[in-house]
Amino acid sequence: MIDLLLGLQWGDEGKGKIVDVLTNKYDIIARFQGGPNAGHTLEFEGNKHVLHTIPSGIFHDAAINLVGNGVVIDPVIFKKELEKLEPYNLDLRNKLLISRKAHLILPTHRLLDQASEAAKGSAKIGSTLKGIGPTYMDKTGRNGIRIGDIEAPDWKEKYRSLTDKHLQMIENYRVEVQFDLKTLENEFFEAIETLKQLQFIDSEHYLEKQQRQSKKILAEGAQGSLLDIDFGTYPFVTSSNTTAAGACTGLGIAPNRIKNVIGIFKAYTTRVGSGPFPTELFDQDGETLGRVGNEFGATTGRPRRCGWLDLVALKYAITVNGVTELNMMKADVLSGFKTIKVCTHYKYKGELIDHLPFDVDEKYVEPVYEELKGWNADLTGMRDVNELPTELHDYVTYLEKALEVPITIVSVGPDRTQTLFRNS
Ligand code: IMP
């Protein structure tokens, strides 16, 4: 049985926290797309951990964590993540498995990302500059180097020829990118040796075998549905399929094996990087959401743009993913607002619509809001849904009705214990 856990907005919904909370129910946690552009934050026992490539089930003894074929891996960042795990004495050789078909991010992929963004000028995507786009380009261009390749003795020849090609491409961009390739390569090859200490596996076969043994698998998404390469706000998106279908191709699992699709969303909306964001706030309310919600990118530290919840976009994400249950994050951040706004429709080229149009551009799209009553209570110490203020209950019920999917978790803080389960 396979469940999916996906972000329904522009990323940073709190997927890492929920995977960590739910891991006890699963035998295997598997990442299926993206790379170290992700920053999954987990908090427990007074400690905060940010994971970039390693799945969020790593701190649970019983769970196997798998980095699937759809993921792109930067060995240098991966090594740093492994070093941060050292104090926990985890049996990583047996707990952390890597698909041979996952692609490698080379140092020059990162440089290409920089060059490409610099060349775009004001049209830049706001990439995390981790080399994600260029690595997926090499994957689909059939030039990429995969984890399984580094087991072959002559893989460095392949590396050299791809790197030479990248250097030529960087020159062609005619922008200034400063780098010291020797240092980057020393760091890279050292990290490759660290990576080799882990188990590389044919993960699609592995997962098939585990399913035959009735093991429970949770596929952990990264980024959000609105950053999906096909269904997101293109071109301001990431380079992988962040939606449910990505779990099939990114792990080699059949669609009919998927049971629950858990959709994670914040009680409001945030976005980091460029691109359309119809409900974005530029006023005091937006500033409050950012400050109270501590809205800074876990990977880049950039301030996130903030706005009210957008039901038009959320419904779209629910449909594309086939979401069966919803988890609402960061409800505590809305405490103190007299009124809470929810976008129910867009005014699009003069017409009232309730679906996401092709061009979600502020030139054409104006959000239409409904107002709900806010609450003023500190939720962070609450441990039972029945303690929540009536207005928050009303907010949740209103959303369930509008979205036609049950909300099974309301999160009231970053810690594991601040997770309230609802039996709706
Ligand atoms: P890239 O995938 O690093 O090239 O970034 C492309 C776009 O996706 C940029 O707007 C990034 O800010 C955004 N992005 C990438 N990864 C994340 C994430 O994990 N959370 C939120 N936004 C992300």
357-397, pLDDT tens digit by residue?
Answer: 999 988 899 999 999 999 999 999 999 999 999 999 999 99
Q: Among residues 12, 74, 113, 228, which one is catalytic?
A: 12
For 322, phi then psi, to 5°, come to 65, 45
423 — pLDDT class (breaks 50, 70, 90): confident
Helix (H) or strand (E) holding 190: helix 181-195
Strands 28-31 and 64-67: parallel
CA distances from 290 to 134, 149, 293 (A): 31, 43, 5
pLDDT in tens, 163-207: 999 999 999 999 999 999 999 999 999 999 999 999 999 999 999
Closest by Cα among 288, 283, 393, 388 to 336: 288
For residue 241, how far is its CA from the centre of ligand 1 (angstroms)?
13
pLDDT in tens, 18-48: 999 999 999 999 999 999 999 999 999 998 9
As beta bridge partners, residue 104 has 73
Mutate to test the pocket of ligand 1, among 33, 37, 124, 296 (most ligand atoms within 8 A of CB): 37
CA-to-CA distance for 45 and 417, rounded, in angstroms?
9
Cα–Cα distance measured from residue 246 to residue 261, given in angstroms and rounded to the nearest whole number = 13
Q: Is the Cβ atom of 273 under 6 angstroms away from ligand 1?
A: yes
Contact, 253 vs 2, CB < 8 A? yes
Protein residue with least CA distance to atom 12, ligand 1:
273
- Which atom of ligand 1 lies nearest, measured to the CA of 127? 5
Contact in structure between 1 and 241 (CB atoms under 8 Å): no
- Report how far Cα 164 is from the mean position of its chain's Cα atoms: 31
Q: Does 12 participate in catalysis according to the annotation?
A: yes
Tokens at 359, concatenated: 């061009």
Question: What are the φ and ψ backbone dihedral angles of 345, each rounded to 5 degrees?
Answer: -145, 165
User: Number of C-alpha atoms within 13 angstroms, CB side, residue 377?
Assistant: 14
Q: Which of 3, 20, 40, 113 is catalytic?
A: 40
Contact 391, 373 (CB under 8 A): yes
For ligand 1, say whether the CB of 203 is within 6 Å of any of its atoms: no
Instruction: Give catalytic status of residue 40 as yes or no.
Output: yes
In this structure, are residues 239 and 38 in contact, taking their beta carbons and an 8 Å threshold? no
Q: What is the pLDDT of residue 57?
A: 95
For the cut 90, the answer to whether the pLDDT of residue 424 exceeds it is: no
Average pLDDT, the chain: 96
- Residue 282: the pLDDT is 97
